[in-house]
Amino acid sequence: MECVVQGIIETQHVEALEILLQGLCGVHRKSLKIHELCLKSGPNLGTSPSEVRLLCDLEQSEPAWRVRHVGGAMRGAGAEQISVNVRTMVESKVSNNVLRLFYALGYKLDHEQLRVGFSFNFQRGAQMTVTVSSVNKMLRLHATDEAVPITPGIQLVEVTAPATSENYSKVAAAMSSFCEYLAPLLHLSKPGVSTGVVPTAAAAAASLMSDGGGTTL
Ligand SMILES: *[C@@H]1O[C@H](CO)[C@@H](O)[C@H](O)[C@H]1NC(C)=O
């Protein structure tokens, strides 16, 4: 399982967010350029429709494909009380001809994207990954060098952490307290709950930029 929250930030404040994250995490950012194919199963494959994503980070020295299946968010009273989504997630390395395999299984390409940005991976009460990226669409099939932003001027921020059914509340608590530090710049919430940009972002970004991230939090 994994815990996840998402938010958006204006591209003009991304540099300030990076300075803040660098200070909080104490690690360097990792660039990413992820080619993502979203596949949906055809009607002849079992009863319930299925969706998988094929991902390949083109920034890696030897780009390799992975397949990811994300399950529905956990429900119930316990899930309502926490401010992050808890969901099942299965990911596996796959070979480069995986697309042909999924087509043969009856899956169809729903859409493809290129996510360009960076991530921080660090331990802070839980093993968290913060990803900041612009989401681009391809003008031609698989043409990753001709990608254009879907939402110009806006980037997606996602925080994820691995969890189990035993420790998800601990992971969620660690994630919530981490998100508080980012609150002046962006609001993070369960995926699907759109919250928009925060009004304090410009002022918070200006102050982060002026002291070069030297602030001790
Ligand atoms: C929760 O459990 C998983 C799997 O054992 C582990 O990887 C993770 O570090 C644990 N997280 C916390 C905060 O204890």
Q: Where are the domains of the chain?
A: 2-211
| Predicted confidence (pLDDT) per residue in 76-96, tens digit | 888 888 999 999 999 999 999
One CATH from 2.40.320.10, 3.30.830.10, 3.40.640.10, 3.40.140.10 for 2-211: 2.40.320.10
Would you call 15 helix, strand, or coil by DSSP?
helix
Q: Which amino acid does the sequence have at 177?
A: S
In angstroms, the CA 3 to CA 114 distance is: 23
Structure tokens at 172: 């969620």
Q: Return the pLDDT at 86.
A: 96
Distance CA 43, CA 47 (A): 8
The per-residue pLDDT for 79 is: 85
pLDDT at 215: 53
Q: What is the mean pLDDT of residues 44-52?
A: 72
Task: Check whether 43 has a pLDDT greater than 60.
Answer: yes
Q: Which of 159, 165, 167 to mutate to test the pocket of ligand 1 (most atoms within 8 A of CB)?
A: 167
Please state, in angstroms and rounded to a whole number, the distance separating the CA atoms of residues 97 and 103.
10
Residue 12: predicted pLDDT: 96
**The pLDDT of residue 116 is above 70:** yes
pLDDT reading at 213 higher than 80? no
Say what the pLDDT of residue 47 is.
Answer: 59
- Sequence-ordered list of residues with C-beta below 8 angstroms from that of 69, at least 6 positions apart, any chain: 50, 51, 52, 53, 89, 90, 91
Contact 197, 36 (CB under 8 A): no
> Do residues 164 and 1 make contact, with C-beta atoms less than 8 angstroms apart?
yes
Angle between helices 168-182 and 14-25 (to 10 degrees): 130
Ligand 1 pocket at CB < 6 A: 126-127, 162-164, 167, 170-171, 174
Classify 93 as helix, strand or coil.
strand
What is the C-alpha separation between 28 and 25, in angstroms, rounded? 8
